[in-house]
Amino acid sequence: MPPISGIDALGAAASTLTSSVRAPQEGDGAGFGASLTGAVDELRAMQSTSNELAVSAVTGDLDDIHAAMIASSRASVTLELVAAVRNKGIEAFNDIMRMQA
């Protein structure tokens, strides 16, 4: 039985973010920032691909509309995932700032 492409796209979007985030090592603060930067760069690439396919679909140059819909869904889910990670990071920062010394 072939895999469902929508679920495949969700798994690929989650693995995109998690594959670029590696385990932190002692004294390695730049690694986390580089990982997040890489994830944002990959998100931009996905959004660019989605936009190009959408333009091709609108102009009639695209034969497979499913490719445009899958690219759009992947970009959307990845954006939501990156936003959730950002929100959790801000929440953690605010919790640390509220701690009593």
Question: 1 pLDDT band (50/70/90 cuts)?
Answer: very low
Tell which phi-psi region holds residue 58, choosing left (phi > 0), alpha (psi between -120 and 50) or beta. alpha
**Segments forming the whole domain that contains residue 66:** 5-20+28-98
Give per-residue pLDDT as tens, 8-21: 554 555 555 555 44
pTM reported for the whole predicted model: 0.63
Give per-residue pLDDT as tens, 15-48: 555 554 445 455 566 787 888 888 889 999 999 9
- Residue 9 makes CB contacts below 8 A (sequence gap 6+) with 70, 73, 74, 77
- Alpha-carbon distance 23 to 70, whole Å? 30
Q: Which amino acid is at 54?
A: A
For the chain, what is the domain count? 1
Residue 79 has pLDDT above 70, yes or no: yes
| Span 44-60, average pLDDT | 92
End-to-end CA distance of the chain, in Å? 58
